[in-house]
Structure 1
Amino acid sequence: MVGAQTQRAERGPGRPRQERVTDDTLEAVIELVTEQGVKAVTMDAVAARAGVSKPAIYRRWPSKQALIIAAAESRIGPLSVPDLGDIWAELREVLTARLAAYRLPGTARLLTELMASAAEADGARGEYVDYTDRLMAETRRILQRGIARGEVRPDVDIRSAATLVAAPLVYRLLAERELPNERFVDDLVDLVVRAVGHPEA
């Protein structure tokens, strides 16, 4: 733990204090989850690991669920892809960015624990739904642009198609226990574009 705190101090001594507290706290959550699981994430443990005060944490995140979601979002968060004029290229941008995050050490454990926490969240489940909605927003926009350009059939259900884009990488990582690669991304984009595009004449 001392080594982790020293590394944080060396990494960004010139950062504004507010930014430092936020970054160090979220990194501490990710470390605890990937090392010990979500049950190890308590405000006391996070404060000790990050070297910050509990009031500073509570001012930013009012609950454990909010803190875990914020930590996950710091690693796997919303994206912005410019209009490239081609749905294949745009979907590949999304999946390549996700691939980079999923291949980081600890991401598989983080995703597994996040899903388990969401399943047990009861009243706080809406927070996880909102996070997922933010996560999928850019893929939905890309599909809508594809419809506007005539690349995607207008009858395609955008939400279902966005799930089709996102789910295989997670399944390969968590269920098949294999790190996805660039070839998998390219194959997946090919399959999705064929599934949502206009049938060939």
Structure 2
Amino acid sequence: MSATTTVTEAVAITADNVATLFPDVDISLARSILPSSNDSSVRAGGDLDGYDEEQVRLMEEVCIVLDNDDRPIGSASKKACHLMTNISRGLLHRAFSVFLFDSQNRLLLQQRAAEKITFPDLWTNTCCSHPLGIAGETGAELSAAVEGVKRAAVRKLDQELGIKAEQVPLDKFKFLTRIHYLAPSDGKWGEHESERPFPLCFP
């Protein structure tokens, strides 16, 4: 498999055309709850047949869809956002990475589970995931987006590593920059993200 992927740029993805180009995208970010586990848009098509049930459930989470200027223009399931057929046409979503350092400046790394649908078994930073298209984790302006991503990072650090919210106050997250990247995991799945890295000192 080639390590490079071409993104079709003939049509710029905007708030006006995203739902037409990608029918799985919901153009309302007012969604306050996650879709049910019976969401047919996630389960349909057989793309998730044979995968771990918990990983399939996580594919139902709602990612924030962006235009190329990092503005939220909709939301879509994690499945829709990570299919290479959509990525190759330019579908972009918001993400984050946490780099957790201890008092001796040692970085905590995590090995992704073998059951993961994207990038199984690979070593990565402390925690990388997505803010969701839900209240408290969205934001159009940079400052609001950063705050939303911090809240998402606290949620995922607890979920993945058992680090509780009181151990990682929001003001301890230091926003570095935004990174726009695309990486195929295999022929079916991949990432196309606008990511916010956060270093965090954990005494």
The normalised TM-score by structure 2 is: 0.27
Normalized per residue, the structure richer in helix is: 1
The normalised TM-score by structure 1 is: 0.27
- Larger RCO: 1 or 2 (CA < 8 Å, sep 6+): 2
Normalized per residue, the structure richer in strand is: 2
- The structure with the largest alpha-carbon Rg is 1
